[in-house]
Chains A and B, each alone.
Chain A
Amino acid sequence: MDPMILIQMLIAAVIGVVVYTAIGVAPGTDETAVLAPVTLALVVAGIPLPVVLAFFMAAIVAKKLTDSIPVSVAGIPGGVMSAPMVEHAMTLKREGQATLAIRKMASGSVIGTLVAVPISLFLAFLLTPLADVLGQYASQIFFLGAVFLALMSREKVISLVSIVVLAALIQALRHFYWGMGVIPEGRVVFISFFLGITIGPMMFNLAQLLVNRERRAMTVTEPKTIQIYKTDDEHKLPNPFRILTRQETASAAASSVLGSVTFFMSPVGITIFLGEVMSSWVKGTVEKASRALSSMDAVTNAAYIAGILIPLAALGIPMSPMAIGPGNAFFNAPPVLTLEQNAHHLMSFSEIAIASILGAGIALLITYPIAVRYARQICVFVFRHIPHEAFLAMFFALVMLLAYMDAGVMGILGVMVLALVAGLLNRWGVNYGVQFMTLYAAPWLMGLLA
């Protein structure tokens, strides 16, 4: 490989780590919202693909490491993916073990990354011959995934019903855009729908503010009190393998393998599922929570890494939530990349492997020590100086921007409708996993019923 490209990859990875270490701490930051637009811009701007991939892998690993920080330090999720971990982190906090939570989670992240990169490359190697067959059945796989996640969730009936309803709404909006002539017929709007579902709960909240009765119910006289847990300051760098017990390491590694194999499923759903399974046979409050946290953090990393690497190296179609969401730009970024001629076709297997290992490696080396040592300081700074209004406004603006880019003013209206419905369904217990899978399966499902 050209040494100039290697140096560029190195620089890109460091930039990715620095930026996304900071973003990871911010409450509620979603991978798709913060990564998809940036990656898209880099690809379209003509940056060499291995450099973009190194940046992307570094950003993902850094963000996954840091979004566990607010969970452990204040019981607030740093992103959609870390929401299921809050309960277990609170358990450790109640036991006076807040420091333990961040260490278990960060170590889980390290294991997840170390396991997922080689496993994904190996799976990619095995799956290459299956590419054509799997590609043909992607929609069916997504549909079955939605049904599976609905059946695994607490609110099974509404989740199952919402698959059809949400698919109908999504296709209705696409045909509405085509019918209004705002986008050429056949071009499939995706990114803004994905973001619409992602910020559904927030949009639903904002809409509630417009309703007098609802607003009165949301009004409080005191600001929210956030308790920052006492953590022991740690100045020497703890070895991630020492922090986890042998059983925890084994659970985390096994979860990572399963998370990699199920790369086409929703990572949030798989995380919740595997976290519960892995901790279900553990006795003792602290032990159970530690096992769940380390395994869940490992799965989120593995599912994300495999979700981008396997479709990229083996399949050439964005056949995973990760590839079709945050990493979408590698598969479809007109006019630079198209579904027929994308990063899968333009990069060799070794280029993909080198860029991924470099990006993930640099992220681990820089972010792991920071996350473990300065978790509390980072959190206190963000909570003290960054108002919630600023986050809400940035998300809102980014979604409006991408919706406008997708389909103009009609795109903005469409996303508002979708976000409102998705937010309501979310409140009723239909999780993101079911909703995302439905988004991917919608064209096929509606085609079947028409």
Chain B
Amino acid sequence: MPAKDRAFLNVWDDTVSGRDLLISLTIATLLSLGGYLLAPWPAPGPLVLGIAGAILGFFISALLFRPKRRLDIEGEA
């Protein structure tokens, strides 16, 4: 992974940090597959819980990490 934390990676058209990306991928995948495998109900329970896990992963990553973008807003100082 990058030598300094100041390095960013260009992935799918936006900049990310390698460390944050790895953590985010791990959280979302574990929650999603975990929800699917551990759901105690019959179908569609596992699917619903799996999707919920992916969405929860999204929110956790959104709260944990800041976007690596610089906004240049026209008309603002």
Contact = CB atoms under 8 A, between A and B. Distances in A.
Contacts of B38: none
A401 B18 contact: no
Contact of B68 (A45, A230, A387): A387
Interface in A250-304: none
A219 B13 CA distance: 13
Given A223-B15, A225-B69, A386-B62, A44 B33 contact: no
Contact of A384 (B18, B65, B67): B67
Contact of B66 (A37, A219, A387, A394): A387
Chain A contact residues, majority secondary structure: helix
A221 B7 contact: yes
B68 to A, nearest CB: 4
Contacts of B27: 393
Contacts of A404: 33, 36
Nearest to B74: A230
A394 B55 CA distance: 6
A224 interface: yes
A398 B51 contact: yes
Interface in A358-408: 380, 383-394, 396-398, 400-401, 404-405
A35 to B, nearest CB: 12
A386 B24 CA distance: 12
Nearest to B75: A230
Nearest to B27: A393
A224 B68 contact: yes
A85 B46 CA distance: 38
A325 B29 CA distance: 23
Contacts of A222: 8, 15, 70
Interface of A: 27-28, 37-38, 40-41, 44-45, 76, 201-202, 205-206, 209, 215, 218-230, 380, 383-394, 396-398, 400-401, 404-405
Given A222-B15, A389-B21, 17 more contacts: A215-B9, A219-B7, A220-B10, A224-B68, A224-B70, A226-B71, A385-B62, A387-B62, A387-B66, A389-B17, A392-B11, A392-B16, A392-B21, A397-B25, A397-B28, A397-B33, A401-B54
